[in-house]
Amino acid sequence: MYEILVADDHPLYREAIISVIQHSFPDAITHEAEDFDAALKIVEQNDQLDLILLDLNMPGMTDLNGLIHLRNEAPDIPVAIISAEDNRDVVLRSVTYGAVGFISKVASGENIGDAIKKIMAGQVYLPSDIVRNTKATSRPAPEEPQAFDTKQISSLTRRQLLVLERLSKGESNKQIAYELNIAETTVKTHVSAILSKLNVHNRMQAVLCASKINFDQYLHRQH
């Protein structure tokens, strides 16, 4: 059973999104917030949230500062932007700053439902036109993370590699702690060390870059 927070200042749009969620996940529990402060309060009171759908332009949001604040306050809760904004740089900056996806408000209910399903399955979702434009243009995306070099990856301990491998699969700190049979506080310590060694600002940047790592190769070296 999933718990999803829909943070948007338009009641009718919140209702429409909740309808899409309930169609895709009939057993889901949904929460609503009409501004950023209300969203933050719900996050602070509920650590069981599986996803936050965050409107970029609701009251309390200033550019991407709200997203950054949420990622710092609740790093284990995935945040996806849901917005009418179609600026490619804004979309890519959102992912750079920790969003697990960017869903367009003008998309059909079916497409929005598919996007949420992909995000819940641990994938990073971007609108198809943004993906096409990113591939077609020669202009680099702003602050787009680069692939890690061999020296950076080799600096990680075996345990840190195992944690990063599970991060790349979209697992939360709680899931990683369970799978590796370690304390959740230990996972947080490992994540902090990983971000520092890989020179990235947040776990989503690490996840995006880690998707191309052959973990078997590096873990085999450390046997």
Q: What is the pLDDT of residues 22-51, one digit of tens each?
A: 999 999 999 999 999 999 999 999 888 999
Higher pLDDT, 18 or 93: 18
Report the chain's mean pLDDT, rounded to a whole number. Answer: 84
180, containing H or E segment: helix 173-180
Residue 94: the pLDDT is: 87
Q: DSSP string spanning 177-222?
A: HHHHT--HHHHHHHHHHHHHHHT-SSHHHHHHHHTT--HHHHHHHT
Q: How confident is the model at residue 133 (pLDDT cuts 50, 70, 90)?
A: low
Over 90: is that where the pLDDT of 80 sits?
A: yes
Structural domains present in the chain: 3-136 (3.40.50.2300), 150-221 (1.10.10.10)
pLDDT value at residue 76: 79
> pTM here?
0.63
pLDDT for position 121: 83
User: Is the per-residue pLDDT at 137 higher than 50?
Assistant: no
Angle at 207 between CA 212 and CA 214, to 5 degrees: 30
pLDDT of residue 136: 42
Summarize the confidence of residues 134-144 as an average pLDDT.
44
User: In this predicted structure, what is the pLDDT of residue 52?
Assistant: 96
- Predicted confidence at residue 135, as pLDDT, reads 44
Which pLDDT score, from 0 to 100, does residue 117 have?
92
pLDDT tens sequence across 4-13: 999 999 999 9
What pLDDT sits at residue 143? 46
pLDDT for position 181: 94
Are the CB atoms for 207 and 124 separated by under 8 Å?
yes
